[in-house]
Amino acid sequence: METHESVLAALPLFKGLKPEQIQQIASCAETATYEAGQFLGREGEPAEWFWVVRQGRIALETHAPGRAPLTLQTVSTDDVIGWSWLIPPHVLRFDIHALTASRAVRIDGKRLRELCGRDHELGHALIERVAQVLVRRMEAMSLQLMDLYGVHDGEHE
């Protein structure tokens, strides 16, 4: 049977964590479901959670007044979304929007921060892993910015 602990332990992101550290994270977890179109959180709101997607497709979006929202990235099964819970000032930097009906394990970031404050080894392990998520997202966004598949000056046939 799938438990929060087994879901977390199987994630590549949490590879190398000790079983007791997985247990600590799982103690802050609950299952949540979202309808298509529902926002898991909006830019500027307190970052209280992060999510491990189990089913569905969820978008990270940003927006400017008067313009259609821009999807930066979508995530799906086994992806982790949300890092602002760990980094001050603990507010969401993007909208998190369920594109389809979705199910996720959501983890109480505030509670986990308290655990990290008491257990610095856990805190360090999580910061290392969240940094990996950030680096990969930054790499992906830099590739998006390059507009890889557009036609550029000097391009030959």
Partner 1 sequence: MSEPVTAPARAGAGSDPMRPERYRVVRTWPETHDTFTMVLAPVEAGARYRFEPGQFNMLYLPGVGEAAISMSGDPAETRQVTHTVRAVGRVTKLLQGLKRGDEVGLRGPFGVPWPVGLAKGRDVLLVAGGIGLAPLRPVVHHLLAHREQFGHVCLLFGARTPADVLFQKDIETWRGRFDASVEVSVDRAGPGWYGRVGVVTTLIPHARFDPANTIAFICGPEIMMHFTMRELERRELAREQAWVSMERNMKCGVGFCGHCQFGPLFVCKDGPVFRYDRVAPLLPVREV
Show the binding pattern over residues 36-65: x = contacts partner 1 (CB under 8 A), - = does not. ---------------------x-x------
Which of residues 19, 65, 151, 153 is near partner 1 by CB under 8 A?
151
What's the one-letter identity of residue 113?
R
Q: Binders of partner 1: how many residues, by CB under 8 A?
A: 29
Which of 41, 56 has the CB closer to partner 1? 56
Largest CA distance in the chain: 60
Q: Which helix (H) or strand (E) holds 143?
A: helix 120-145
Peptide bond into 19 cis (omega under 30): no
Q: Considering the rule CB under 8 A, would residue 69 count as an interface residue with partner 1?
A: yes
Q: Considering the rule CB under 8 A, would residue 73 count as an interface residue with partner 1?
A: yes
**Distance from C-alpha of 100 to C-alpha of 95, rounded to nearest angstrom:** 15
Write out the two tokens for 140: 């992906």
Which of residues 70, 131, 134, 138 is near partner 1 by CB under 8 A?
70
